[in-house]
Structure 1
Amino acid sequence: MNEKVRKFLHRFFGLLTIVLILVLAWQWIQSQPATSKVKQTTNKVLTQKQGKYSKKERQELKAAVAKQDQQGLNLSKQGYVAIPKLSILLPIYDNAYSKVALDKGANTVQKDGPVPVMGQGNYTLAAHNWDNGYTGFSALQQKLKQNEPYEDSNGKLGTSDWLNGTKIYLANQNGIYTYKVTGQTTVDQNDGSVLNPEDRIDGKAKLTIVTCLFPDTTKRIITNAKYSDFVSWDKAKSDELGYFDLQKQKTNVLP
């Protein structure tokens, strides 16, 4: 092997090694939802039970979902919200205007009116965006630490369709309610119009999820979803039941 060929191969393999290191480093960074600046989805997914749930197991799931677990804090629990694609599983309480309640999970948002009812009207929820892509409703923001596409550099508010079609499940003592995301919008923190209990999507009941935008915390990301189905605990499919199997699933209230 002559000297020119040797030097060429040395440089080639040296460059190839650097490229491989950079690629592996980038992949590792993207696998860390708390540090990745460009997030598509979290890597953790809700696990599924292998096999079917017995009648007894279904009743146990129902009881666990409906259990009042924060009575000492004077919080009433409605049930749970699950967004499997984003590994979101949070209990739902009835006081979004209480710091104590928001530290415990998601909360219904209506303040001066009847408490929202799953599967009816405009069911409104709020939870923290902890700016880490995982905790609370953080995963609903398309890109970490970037206002866009919800707000551009000139302050113009925008929308996002990155979650369109994503299923959101609500569960209470009656059963499991399914909604499908129709889009995300952005509003100012003081804009309460999205909480209108009379709002619908195509004449159907809707779900409205409110969470902060980061880094501009004066704005709110609004995730809209249309009601599509309800199933009782004794009729639900195993995968739907599995999302609320609290013996196997881990809530994302905290990391």
Structure 2
Amino acid sequence: MFFQSSKQTRMGTRGIRIKSRRRRRLIPIIVAVLLVIFAGISTVWSLHPEYFQGRLNQSIVMAEAKRHPFVSEGKGKYLTNVDMPTWGELGKLRKDDSGLRLRAYIAVPKLRIELPIYQGTTKYTLAMGAGTMKGKHDGILNEADVLGASNYALSGHNMADYLTYFSPFQRHIMGTSLEGFNIYVTDGKYVYKYKHTAKYIVNNDGEASEWIKNTKATDINPVITLVTCFEQAPYWTHARKRIIIRGDFLKKYDLNKQNAKKLFNISPDLVK
């Protein structure tokens, strides 16, 4: 049996006290660090709530789209100008999805765009995703929206947050995104791959509508045209200009369960 001397006992007690004091000193430091982190998150939320709203909105529209089957072109409404709604208005518009016709999905991985594509350009379709800008029965151009053929044109909102719908194109048009990114569209059976080739800012008048028309050149070399508002003060809700993103058609290949999830974040069960 071994016995500790009084000196050893005092040293052991002293060591425990030192450790206890160190722990007590660490507590306010830990609390301070947590407060700084919380303050940082609160600041980001207060200054940039659109970041959280944008990501949440992307998740919502993708989840809601999965309730709709892919359909072929039918009669749709095509409006030439749909003002940007507020976040509150978006929520209300999404409650009425009875007339939506899901045509496809679009993905731009480099810009983190993943959206369903519906027929037409009404306030309801654009609240739920992107919309086809023309059709055989649109009463304006009377041109079918055919993937991989001539000029496939889509429109989407720019919420001025660089995140939601086609908002990332605003950042790209200002020269802060990668050039030559790939654009993918699927109709549930095939994937159509396009490569971005050009970007423009044009007036919201006849000049903008010229970009979505089929031409002899696009009949020979098919393209995709993506259109969104160019948001600049003081025209946040009534933009006077449009961003035009143009891409060349590269190839068409089968949609499978792997690329359905990887490219479009859609369930493999939706593959035709």
Q: Which has the higher contact order (CA 8 A, sep 6+)?
A: 1
What are the equivalent positions in structure 2 for 1:157-168 lying under 5 Å apart?
162-168=177-183
Q: How many residues align?
A: 184
Kindly indicate whether the alpha-carbon contact (under 8 Å) linking 1:163 and 1:183 is maintained by their aligned counterparts in 2.
no
Matched residue, 1:224? 246
Matched residue, 1:207? 224
2:259 maps to 1:244: no
Q: Letter of the aligned partner of 1:243 in structure 2?
A: L
Kindly indicate whether the alpha-carbon contact (under 8 Å) linking 1:177 and 1:229 is maintained by their aligned counterparts in 2.
yes
**In the TM superposition, what is the alpha-carbon distance from 1:103 to its structure 2 partner?**
0.5
Matched residue, 2:164? 135
- The percent of aligned pairs where both chains have the same amino acid is 26
Q: Letter of the aligned partner of 1:104 in structure 2?
A: M
Matched residue, 1:253? none
* CA-to-aligned-CA distance 1:200-246 (integer Å, 9 cap, x gap): 46941100000001115100000000000111125x8x456512232
2:69 maps to 1:67: yes
Larger radius of gyration: 2
Aligned counterparts of 1:207 and 1:176: Cα–Cα separation in 2: 13
Matched residue, 1:184? 199
Matched residue, 1:77? 102
SS of the equivalent of 1:225 reads strand
Q: Letter of the aligned partner of 1:189 in structure 2?
A: N
> Given the two structures, how large is their TM-score scaled by the length of structure 1?
0.60
SS of the equivalent of 1:81 reads strand
Aligned counterparts of 1:109 and 1:75: Cα–Cα separation in 2: 14
Q: Letter of the aligned partner of 1:73 in structure 2?
A: S
Matched residue, 1:103? 127
- Between Structure 1 and Structure 2, the one with more helix by share is 2
* CA-to-aligned-CA distance 1:77-120 (integer Å, 9 cap, x gap): 11100011111111111111x11111111001114213311111
**In the TM superposition, what is the alpha-carbon distance from 1:161 to its structure 2 partner?**
9.1
**In the TM superposition, what is the alpha-carbon distance from 1:169 to its structure 2 partner?**
0.2
Aligned counterparts of 2:192 and 2:168: Cα–Cα separation in 1: 21
Matched residue, 1:175? 190
Q: Letter of the aligned partner of 2:264 in structure 1?
A: F
Q: What RMSD, in angstroms, separates the aligned Cα atoms of the two structures?
A: 3.9
Is there any run of 5+ residues in structure 2 with no aligned partner, and where? 1-39, 59-65, 72-93
Aligned counterparts of 1:108 and 1:200: Cα–Cα separation in 2: 21
Matched residue, 1:90? 115
Cα 1:212–1:115 change in 2 (3 A) is same
Aligned counterparts of 2:229 and 2:264: Cα–Cα separation in 1: 25
Q: Letter of the aligned partner of 2:153 in structure 1?
A: T
Q: Letter of the aligned partner of 1:130 in structure 2?
A: M
Aligned counterparts of 1:137 and 1:202: Cα–Cα separation in 2: 26
Kindly indicate whether the alpha-carbon contact (under 8 Å) linking 1:65 and 1:80 is maintained by their aligned counterparts in 2.
no
